[in-house]
Chains A and B, each alone.
Chain A
Amino acid sequence: MNPADVLVEAGRLAAARKPYVLATVVNVVRPASARRGDRALVMPDGRVSGWIGGACSEPAVVREALQALADGEARVARMEGDCGSEGVVEVLIEPVLPAPLLTIVGESPAARTLAALACTVGWRVRDDHVEGADAVVVATMGHGDEELLAGALSSGAGYVGLVASAKRAASVLAELRARGLDEEAVLRVRAPAGLDLGPSSQEEIAVAILAELVAWRHTRGDSPFAAPTEAVDPVCGMTVAIGPGTEQTVHEGVTVAFCSARCRARFEAEPARYSGLRAP
């Protein structure tokens, strides 16, 4: 995949709302196998398409890329001397995460304003089913709240909120308990939804809820992707992210990970020489 194709593929993934990382070589001090402008995509499972240098820089880029997916922050990774003969390669790592999906159920002025405001901060908004939503806000003013909340809690949404007065919120939660929902699930419902900003108009309630959603998004780490599990390659000493494509072998009952097939082969030829360096 050449650098232009990488951008075409990146556009396709973005349109399909798939997460990925765009890695671009921005600086090279020779000797290095990468050139400035080389690009690759790193997928959440660690797969790489494109070229950002050979076996030396790729594992390090993948590791940084997976961390970027986890924390949502772009960064520049600088790789020097990892593989003896190599020079310096600097790679701009840009995580691209799809906008969170918010389902708002119910017709009320607060629900309408919340939908409009959520769009302004770049969230996607739906008003029908809860499946696949990152956050669900129930604002029916009382028409079947219990069923909707129970559905939202079992849908995998990370944020579940109920628009109601404190009094009605308490009675809805009591009803959920009476229906046999476990306490842990009931406690996940933000009820009343939104930061407590004082007595509020419908528009102000929408602001309070969106402020809580922004806070929730950033405190959970901005990303559904966990930071990658890492290990140190005992041959070259490089830190690698462990994924489906990682070179691994089992030595004395312990899994050992490598940056490349070459390091793995060297380890397998002389395990005694390297096993002292094995990472836990």
Chain B
Amino acid sequence: MRDVLETLERWAADGTPVAIATVVGTERSAPRDPGAVLAVSAGGDVAGSVTGGCVEPAVYGEARDVLAGGAPRLKTYGIADDEAFEVGLPCGGTVHIFVDRLDPGLVAPIAEAVRDERPIALEIKISGEDAGAKRLVGPGDDGPTGELLARGETGIVETPEGQVFVSSFAPRPNMYVFGAVDHAAAVATIGRYLGYRVTVCDARAKFVTRERFPDVDELVVEWPDRFLRSAPVDERTVICVLTHDHKFDVPALKVALETPAGYIGAMGARRTNEERAGRLRAEGVSEEDIARIHAPIGLKIGSRTPEEVAIAVAAQIVQVLRSPKPASEEVAAR
């Protein structure tokens, strides 16, 4: 829904009635994940998508019907492969889409929370008597919705009164990039594509400039280890140590290893890495902790330019954070 919030705010400001179709579940492969929204205004304008074009015409029809006074409804576009082309979802997957009206009063609080990077969740009752009922939930909630929100996840919660779809608007996870080197700009750019809130931090003020880093969310002039002691870190946090100067990197890695960060990577050729590991050992860091560091940073795909290195780093971040077990350093092409 993030991608259509601006449009929804504008429609809400105009007082235009709006219907939204929300992907509440997918089976096998689907072009868009749960939480994706197609919004239709009373004027017939459209924003967003639920499948990337496959079933939009049918969903648009349902939304128009809801706007004309029809009841909220849960539609399933589930496709046997041989019928795929006829129905329009040739991906061979199934999507469950809930279509109902959107109370304009709900839009502003969601948009504000997203802008301020505060967690908020939208509950939509999708079955039972009061299907279509909605409620906003903040981070204080101690029920199942609060649990989903804390993990930044979107999905269906079963309650005695029926199913509730929870759309989580968690703040973007943090990516901390230490070392305002050329590779940092490339890593920061791709980090933003992956949905991270990117901070570049370096103690050397002359390198930490907007000219060098036009794309990042925050630039910090500070020793990385000092910065990291007060920065928020959770399991979704990514830490990239790119300075390859032990003076900065060793203290930064030492603090990083005390956090629950989901990914810690460090740049440097093999000798630099061995030397760095030796210094960490001398500082009393355990072998187990040193093994958490992905070094040399990035999957081995033969990268040469900083931009190619950034792709290798991004691919490794995805692999590590998506994988329940320790990831291997090398992936073969499928």
Do A and B associate with each other? Answer: yes
Residues of A within 8 A of B (CB): 107-109, 113, 116-117, 120-122, 141-143, 164-165, 167-168, 171, 190-192, 194-204, 206-208, 210-212, 214-219
A214 touches B312 (CB 8 A): yes
Q: Does B299 contact A (CB under 8 A)?
A: yes
Q: With CB as the reference atom, state the residue of chain A lying closest to B53.
A: A107
B29, B53, B314, B334: the one contacting A207 at CB < 8 Å is B314
A218 touches B322 (CB 8 A): no
Query: Given known contacts A168-B29, A190-B333, A203-B194, is B307 in contact with A208 (CB within 8 Å)?
Result: no
Knowing that A141-B91, A168-B92, A211-B315 are A-B contacts, what are 17 other residue pairs whose CB atoms are under 8 Å apart, sorted by A's residue number? A116-B193, A120-B186, A121-B308, A141-B90, A142-B91, A165-B93, A167-B29, A190-B334, A196-B331, A197-B315, A197-B331, A202-B31, A204-B322, A211-B312, A212-B333, A214-B303, A219-B302
A-B contact pairs, 7 of them (CB 8 A): A120-B190, A142-B54, A142-B90, A191-B334, A207-B315, A218-B301, A218-B302
A109 touches B92 (CB 8 A): no
A202 touches B32 (CB 8 A): yes
Minimum distance in angstroms from A2 CB to a CB of chain B = 32
B31, B186, B315: the one contacting A141 at CB < 8 Å is B31
SS class, residues of chain B in contact with chain A: loop
A197 touches B31 (CB 8 A): no
Q: Does B136 contact A (CB under 8 A)?
A: no
For B319, what are the chain A residues with a Cβ–Cβ distance below 8 Å? Answer: 195, 197-198
Query: Given known contacts A197-B331, A200-B318, A214-B301, is B307 in contact with A122 (CB within 8 Å)?
Result: yes
A120 touches B90 (CB 8 A): no
For B310, what are the chain A residues with a Cβ–Cβ distance below 8 Å? Answer: 120-121
Q: How far is the CA of A143 from the CA of B92 in the complex (A)?
A: 12
Please classify how large the interface on chain B is, using the bins under 10, 10 to 19, 20 to 34, 35 or more.
35 or more
Minimum distance in angstroms from A79 CB to a CB of chain B = 27
Q: Does B311 contact A (CB under 8 A)?
A: yes
Q: Does B81 contact A (CB under 8 A)?
A: yes
A116, A121, A164, A191: the one contacting B311 at CB < 8 Å is A121
Q: Mark B190-226, 1 if CB is under 8 A from A, else 0.
A: 1001110000000000000000000000000000000
Q: Does B159 contact A (CB under 8 A)?
A: no
B29 touches A120 (CB 8 A): no
B299 touches A207 (CB 8 A): no
Q: With CB as the reference atom, state the residue of chain B lying closest to A167.
A: B92
* Contact residues, B149-193 vs A (CB, 8 A): 186, 189-190, 193
For A217, what are the chain B residues with a Cβ–Cβ distance below 8 Å? Answer: 302
For A167, what are the chain B residues with a Cβ–Cβ distance below 8 Å? Answer: 28-29, 92
Q: How far is the CA of A200 from the CA of B317 in the complex (A)?
A: 12
B307 touches A121 (CB 8 A): yes
Q: How far is the CA of A214 from the CA of B54 in the complex (A)?
A: 31
